[in-house]
Amino acid sequence: MPKNIIEKKLKGLKKKIMAKSTDNFLELLLLGMDLAFMGMKDYRESNLGKKKTGYFKAIYVFRTKDEKERIAASAIFKKGRMERSNKAEKKWDVRVTFTDGAALRDFLLSLDHDVLNSVLKNKVEVEGNLNYIYKFGFMAEDLLNRI
């Protein structure tokens, strides 16, 4: 996909991602990140690394608290690429369980990245390496700032 087409798609996604009423925040965010990693070399290299310096490797699982898992998705980072999955992977490095899309959006895009505050409000539960959460939040903010 040519770079200018990707950038146009990303700008449209940014408006949807930032909308307070969207229930598909996670799906849009992961799609935007996927497009950016494919079409923006500087975004990909600054967030996922380079072959000679080593690539970022992690599996993120995002899911809602309800047993039916209305929302479940995974982001798999390996070999300088990102894969999206519409299910909760069984193996993960970090798993985020949230009450709804708004809670996840506030958690990932908060200006101060106050993980503890979200956890104390029982809106988000985090299992695994918290550093990965900060990295994911940085990648999301970096994407939104670039578009």
Number of domains the chain is built from: 1
Specify the CATH number for the domain of residue 55. Answer: 3.30.1050.10
Per-position b or e across 52-72, b if 16+ CB within 10 A of its CB:
eeeeeebbbbbbbbeeeeebb
pTM above the 0.85 mark?
A: no
pLDDT tens, residue order, the chain (147 aa)? 556 666 666 666 666 655 554 457 788 889 889 988 988 889 999 999 988 889 999 999 998 877 665 778 999 999 999 999 988 899 999 999 988 777 777 777 765 656 666 666 677 888 999 889 889 888 988 888 887
**Range of 13's domain?**
3-146
Q: How far apart are CA 142 and CA 147, in angstroms?
A: 9
Tokens of 130: 């918290």
